[in-house]
Amino acid sequence: MDKCVENTFYIIFRIQNSSFYLFQHKNSFPLQILLLTLSLNSQPLISIIIPVYNKKKYLQNTLNFVFAQTNKFFELVCVDDSSTDGSFYILNDQLKLINDYKEQSGSNNESNQNDSFGQRENDNKQLNNQLRMKMKVIRNEQNKGLLKARQIGVEHATGEYILNLDADDLINKRTIEKLTEQLRKHKDIDIIHFRETILEITQNGGYERNQFTWADPQKYSVVKKPNILPLITKTGMGFSAHGKLIKRSLYLKIFNTLQNDQHIIYSEDFLQTVLLYEQAQSYLGVNITLYNYIQREDGAIMQVASQTQKRIEDLIYVTKSLKQLVSQEHQWDIMKNVVTFMIQASQHNCKIKEQFYPLLNKEWKQVLKKGQCQSL
C-alpha cells in the first residue's frame, strides 16, 4: 500500500448529483488527486447552452462572464450555427485554452508533491474550482436556425438542467451559485424562473440598467400543474427562452414533438416556452436578478426590416404548431399573445407595417373576434 495512503480513512459521498466531499484522517496528496478526479468525472447539475451565429463582436465578453462564475461546477455547450464572421474560432480557441490549462495544472500538481501540505491544499482547492467547468463546442456545417441549434445543444448537454444564454447577453457572476442553491432547496423542480435586467448601451459605450419587467416571474412561489401555463398565456409575460432554468428532460420531450428540419430564426423562444410550461409539473419563481439582456441596435428585433417575410413565415409556423400541440383550453390565450407580439414587432419600421397589417386583417381578425382558432 502507498505510504501516503496507509493509516488513512476517508469517506466520499455525493450531494445533488454535483459535489464530492472528502473527510480525511491523515493528510495525503494522492487522496486530494482522487477527490479532484472524482469531481471532474461527475456530471454537472447545470448545462449552459449558447447558440452562436455571427456574434464575434460580443461573444468573448459573454464567455468571460461565464468563466467568471463563482461556482464553476457546470457545463458550457456552445453551438456555432455555421458562422461566417469568425465566431467559431473564438469558441475553438477558448476550448483549447481551457484544455491546455487543465493539462498544465495537472502536470504542475505532480511536480509539486514536495511542497508543504498547506500550500498544496490551497493550490488544489483553486485547481479543483477552475477545472470543474466543462466546455463543449459543436459546429453545424450548414446553418440550421436558432431552434435547431438550441436543440443540438440540449442533446449534447449532460446536465440535469438547462440554462439558455444568448451569445451577446451576460449572466451575473453568481448565477450558477444562486441557481444551485435554489435546486438544493426545491428538489426535482421542473422550471425556475428568475428576474432579468435590460442593459441599454449609452453613447459613451457604457450600460444603462433598467428592470426587464415583462420578463419577470409572475409569482414568487412554487406553482403546480395545471396552473403553470396560464402564468404566461394570460399575462403575455416571460415568453423568452432566457431567464429560466429548465429540466433537460422537458426539453427532450418537446423537441420530439417538433419538426426536426424546420429552420426557425424568429419566435422560437415563444414556441418552446409555451410547450415547456404546458409539460412542466412544477414551477418556481424567484426574486433574484441573474441575467442581463443587452439591447442593441443590431439585435434581432432591429433587423426585421431586412427579413420581414422570414419573420412572418416563422410566426405562422409557430402559431400552427401551438394550435396542434397545446391543449384547447389554452389556445385562445396563446392566440391573443401571438397577435399582440406581432403588432409590437411591426412597430419598429414602416416596411413591416405595410406587409404585416394586411396579414393581420386577413389571417387573425376572425381569431380575435370569435376567440377561437378555426381560421388557421
User: Could you count the other beta carbons within 10 Å of the beta carbon of residue 51?
Assistant: 28
Measured from the Cβ of residue 21, the count of other Cβ atoms closer than 10 Å reads 11
User: CATH 3.90.550.10 occupies which residues in the chain?
Assistant: 43-298
pTM over 0.85: no
Q: Looking at residue 363, what DSSP letter applies?
A: I
Cβ-contact 268, 240 below 8 angstroms: no
End-to-end CA distance of the chain: 74
Instruction: Give the model confidence (pLDDT) of 355-365 as tens digits.
Output: 556 655 665 56
| Amino acid residing at 201 | I
Q: Could you identify the residue written with the cell 485547481?
A: 127
Confidence of residue 237 (pLDDT cuts 50, 70, 90): low
Q: 51 preceded by cis ω (within 30°)?
A: no
Q: Are strands 10-15 and 207-211 parallel, antiparallel or unpaired?
A: unpaired
**What is 43-298's CATH number?**
3.90.550.10
Place of cell 428592470: 211
User: How many whole angstroms from its chain centre is CA 20?
Assistant: 25
Range with the largest mean pLDDT of 54-58, 126-130, 270-274: 54-58
Instruction: Of 18-32, 36-50, 165-179, give the lowest mean pLDDT range.
Output: 18-32
β-pair partners for 247: 161
Enclosing H/E stretch for 224:
strand 222-224
Whole-number pLDDT of residue 231: 80
Q: Give residue-wise pLDDT tens across range 281-295.
A: 999 999 999 999 987
* DSSP character string of 121-185: HHHHHHHHHHHT-EEEEEE-SS---HHHHHHHHHHH--SSEEEE--TT-EE-TTHHHHHHHHHHH
Of all helices (H) and strands (E), which one includes residue 294? strand 282-295
